[in-house]
Amino acid sequence: KKRLFRCITRLWGLCLSAVSMKSDGTMRHLISLREQSREDLLAILQLARMLKAKRMAGQPSEYLSQKTLIMLFQKTSTRTRLSFETAMTELGGHAIFLDARTTQFALTDFKTEIQAIMRFGHLLVFRARRSADVAFAASCNRIPVIDACSEKYHPAQALGDVLTMLEYSGSIHRIKKVAWLGIENNVSNSLMLACVKLGISFVLVSPEVDPESVDRELTVEAEATGLVIRTLDMAYALHNADYVHTDTWMNMEFFEDGHVKEEWREEYERRKKVFQPFQLNAALIDAYAPHARIMHCMPCHVGYEITHDALYHPRSIIFDQAENRLHVQKAILAWLLCGY
């Protein structure tokens, strides 16, 4: 009996590692989207649409039964935490949320502790202060790792955004032009790369880049497609845009308990002045892009990067965008672990 049990356990382990491996023998991760091909992105989007349809039809999708998702967060979250936890429940598995502040990370070396953490689950979702730490976790090739919004990337957000645009446009080929207003940052990095890999033109209307978010290799790869345009001419940028996105001009680190930390006060005030002309508001959309849909990854700082009249504009699809994090992340988890 013992031998049989060992044999079954070993076979299951081999099976699991085989399906989450790429053809070159390395494990699948979702970090910067540089690792994914156009076909990979399309496969995840197709799976997301199938899972969303099943959910709407009341059908179960318990593809990750008996699997555990470890969610390690070094920064605050509303949507990412909720959507990944719900995704894992609906896939028949279990998610464990770890607020890094309540763990032993402060007492020990990061690399040692993260290797121990990965022994307990089948997937790791990591909202890290430093993308280098996500890269280290992935380099261990123990379990698939997802960057859940580091200073450089937010791939699950980008895929949720593309899913939303796909639903509204009907097909990828009908999404011609996406405009990004405000600060160039982690979210715009991932959205830009996802868009250009799918053949969509991406226009950046950004007077500044968040210095922490710079990834030169990603930028070079995106710009090599010829689909990235940089301009500060709002009329040109928004002409014939299908979707207009924005994001907060401020970083999560600037805030504590809902207030701006004193050490970031000066930068906070400076950014408000620099980015004000690039605010997404109803007058701008009505004047330059009346057929575009309005998007924001949330949380919104209403009155700053977006106005109340843009958030609740008839062309706003911001709440559908938030919900789609759930559907696309179910697809990401299944794709990473099972290779669907």
Tokens for 35?
Answer: 């690792």
In whole angstroms, how far apart are CA 232 and each of 224, 246, 275? 21, 14, 11
d(CA 97, CA 303): 32
* Minimum distance of ligand CP from residue 88's CB (angstroms): 15
321: contact with ligand CP by CB under 6 A: no
Six-digit token pair at 151? 């200073």
The number of residues making up the chain comes to 340
Q: Does 209 bind ligand CP (CB under 6 A)?
A: no
Bin 313: left if φ > 0, else alpha if -120 < ψ < 50, else beta.
beta
Contacts of 67 (CB under 8 A, 6+ apart): 88, 91, 92, 93, 94, 121, 122, 123, 337
Q: Toward ligand CP, which CB reaches closer, 85 or 90?
A: 85
Among 9, 26, 78, 104, interactor with ligand CP by CB under 6 A: 78
- Near ligand CP by CB under 6 A: residue from 32, 61, 80, 150: 80
Binder among 298, 302, 315, 340 for ligand CP (CB under 6 A): 298
Q: Between residues 206 and 321, which has the closer beta carbon with respect to ligand CP?
A: 321
- Does position 324 interact with ligand CP (CB under 6 A)? The reply is no
Contact flag: residue 255 with ligand CP (CB under 6 A)? no
Is 43 among the residues that bind ligand CP (CB under 6 A)? no
Q: In degrees to the nearest 10, what's the CA dihedral of 183, 265, 267, 310?
A: 20
**Residue closer to ligand CP (CB basis): 80 or 279:** 80
Stretch that binds ligand CP, among 35-43, 61-69, 74-82, 205-213 (CB under 6 A): 74-82
Q: How far is the CB of 286 from ligand CP (least distance, A)?
A: 26
Nearer to ligand CP, 157 or 206 (CB): 157
> Which residues neighbour 206 within 8 Å (Cβ) at sequence distance 6 or greater?
180, 181, 182, 183, 184, 188, 230, 278
Determine, following the binding rule CB under 6 A, whether residue 299 of this chain makes contact with ligand CP.
Answer: yes
Among 28, 52, 67, 79, contact with ligand CP (rule: CB under 6 A): 79
Closest to ligand CP by CB, 79 vs 245, is: 79
Instruction: Let me know if 302 is exposed, middle or buried by CB neighbors in 10 A (0-12, 13-18, 19+).
Output: middle
> Interface with ligand CP includes 248 (CB under 6 A)?
no
Q: Under DSSP, is residue 178 helix (H, G, I), strand (E, B) or coil? A: strand
Q: Which residues bind ligand CP (CB under 6 A)?
A: 77-80, 149, 157, 297-299
